[in-house]
Chains A and B, each alone.
Chain A
């Protein structure tokens, strides 16, 4: 996937494989939204001790958006599955990136939509109580 030109918005960040970027209930840090240049990340939502939802992200993906617009504390946790090179952004920089690149905007919408579709698929499969 071609790297999106963010025109210098955000700052480069690096994580080692296995490193935790944020955990559930953490306050939002700065940066709080990440554009992955290279590497793999998993984002997990734990429903309880047995049930969880797993989301995988790779090169060219954007993650971390979820909590920035709603609860303000992390409801998921994120971990690097490999060494990761990314661009970290705060909320204002994320907005600037969306204005700077239609491709970035469409990728953000697609990934949020994909996340929603995955959860809705689970909801559809939940048996009636």
Chain B
């Protein structure tokens, strides 16, 4: 039941296409993660980029064995792992599924194929990244303000 409540939030957010498109993409490239399951680990290599369809995923850094500090959280329509895909950079954080989450796991060529057929997704991804940057700015600003 929890799973279906999270389904297709990406569509509700106004991503181009209909539920059927997301359904089709999920059938081809989708992965489901359970709560507390690690999706990618800081320092690992890998070239997939992930697009969140539903659920909540937290960005963390490991502080000690088995203990993680949450840096921020991501939701439907947001992307992660893109630097590994675009620049072969190692993963910069550990991403953990906070709820049951559905993501598209895409190689660079699959990513390009999808964006060619759904060009407005690029725009949505930039918007989502811009929101995260503004949130991060606020987080740092508040830190210095309250210091």
Contact = CB atoms under 8 A, between A and B. Distances in A.
A112 interface: yes
B11 interface: no
Contacts of B116: 102
Interface string A61-86: 00001111111000100000000000
Interface in B123-137: 123, 125-127, 129-134, 136-137
A47 B83 contact: no
Contacts of B133: 66, 112, 115-116, 119
Given A95-B120, A105-B122, A126-B143, A119 B86 contact: no
Contacts of B82: 109-110, 113
Contacts of B120: 95, 99
Nearest to B134: A70
A98 B123 contact: yes
A128 to B, nearest CB: 9
Nearest to B139: A123
Interface residues of B, number: 37
A119 B140 contact: yes
Given A98-B122, A129-B147, A123 B130 contact: no
A106 interface: yes
B145 interface: yes
Contact of A70 (B71, B115, B130, B139): B130
Interface string B64-94: 0000000110000001001100110000110
Nearest to B92: A117
Interface of B: 59, 61, 71-72, 79, 82-83, 86-87, 92-93, 112, 115-116, 119-120, 122-123, 125-127, 129-134, 136-137, 139-141, 143-147
Given A112-B130, A122-B140, 6 more contacts: A51-B140, A66-B130, A98-B122, A121-B92, A123-B136, A123-B140
Query: Nearest 5 A-B pairs (CB), nearest first?
Result: A69-B127, A112-B129, A105-B122, A119-B136, A99-B119
